Amino acid sequence: MYSTEFSACVCYFFQVVRLSDFGVQGADAKNIFYLREIDDADKLVEVIKAKKNGNALVVGGGYIGLELSAALKINNIDVSMVYPEPWCMPRLFTAELAGFYEGYYANKGIKIIKGTVATGFGTNENGEVTDVKLKDGRVMEADIVVVGVGGRPVTKLFKGQVEEEKGGIKTDGFFKTSVPDVYAVGDVATFPMKLYNEMRRVEHVDHARKSAEQAVKAIFSCEQGNSIDEYDYLPFFYSRAFDLSWQFYGDNVGETVFYGDGSLTSPTHKFGSYWIKDGKVVGAFLEGGTPEENKAIAKVARVQPPAHSLDQLATEGLTFACKV
């Protein structure tokens, strides 16, 4: 939290979920990493250099799990992933989308273990992690462990002082809280999402940057007696790993339609999915898109064109987006 010269305040508080929060034995061992700060990444890089051709176990199948597994493998570390869900990135991916990425990672030599969790860690005389005990009884060798099992907004500092909603600090379309001259931005803010006419909290770097920009603009405009438009955010998520690159825009609710060539032998790896609710396309995902194609699926998510036939939508695929 910091004060500006015009007595306004901007808040951003978010903390990583740790395995010690669940009472996992040995979770405080050395070389177990959580990525939240730049310092965390610097320490992980040093250990990767020190443990050449070592064994890493990545706990979690979300953003951190997928991106760090790829980074570790590229650096000649033997990698295993473990997560309890039936497929990776379950908050966004459909089973069909996840099937491609899991197959791709397996072809890269990454071992994927689903349906179980880490329950304990073994250590050596130096307190460094040596193995990971899984709930299903398996014990995995590991001299590097990376944990990515989520994060949570820290609101307890403001209990009883600011209004809260949906697990975050409630704001308006300018990120003003219920307290005058106090703004909340990023993952901790629950704000009105105009596109869907509801209050939401978004955990992603794109929103973190844009909400901070909106708050600063609002503060300056208020001081100068001007006005700005309310925040009108289109949800946007993306990732890059190995030679893959995907983008998603909109809302992943309703029925889904897979399109394109999602085979592992495809030379292009260009495929995606649409989400359809109430007869309209409300979300769009694309792997391997060009800048123009990514703009096209973003427009689809913003405009929400009608989908008269799911079969036709699957047949048209990316062409549908490019015509909107």
Segment 184-216, tens digit of pLDDT: 999 999 999 999 999 999 998 999 999 999 999
Cα–Cα dist 248/94, whole Å: 12
According to DSSP, the β-strands at 255-260 and 32-34 are unpaired
The one-character DSSP state at 142 is -
Strand arrangement, sheet containing 189-193: 164-165, 168-170, 189-193, 198-201
Pairing verdict, β 139-141 and 129-134: antiparallel
- Predicted confidence at residue 179, as pLDDT, reads 93
Burial class (CB in 10 A: 0-12, 13-18, 19+), 79: buried
Q: Where does residue 52 rank: exposed (0-12), middle (13-18), buried (19+ CB within 10 A)?
A: exposed
| Residues listed for the chain | 324
SS percent in the chain: helix, strand, coil, step 5 = 30, 30, 40
With a cut of 50, which residues of the chain have pLDDT below it? 1-7
Question: Cα separation of 23 and 1, whole Å?
Answer: 31
Give the pLDDT of residue 2: 40
Confidence (pLDDT) at 156 = 81
Q: What is the pLDDT of residue 292?
A: 98
Three-state secondary-structure class, residue 136: coil
What would the pLDDT profile of 103-146 be if each residue is shown by its tens digit? Answer: 999 999 999 999 999 999 999 999 999 999 999 999 999 999 99
Q: What is the pLDDT of residue 8?
A: 58
Question: Is-above-0.85 flag for pTM?
Answer: yes
Cβ(59)–Cβ(65) below 8 Å: yes
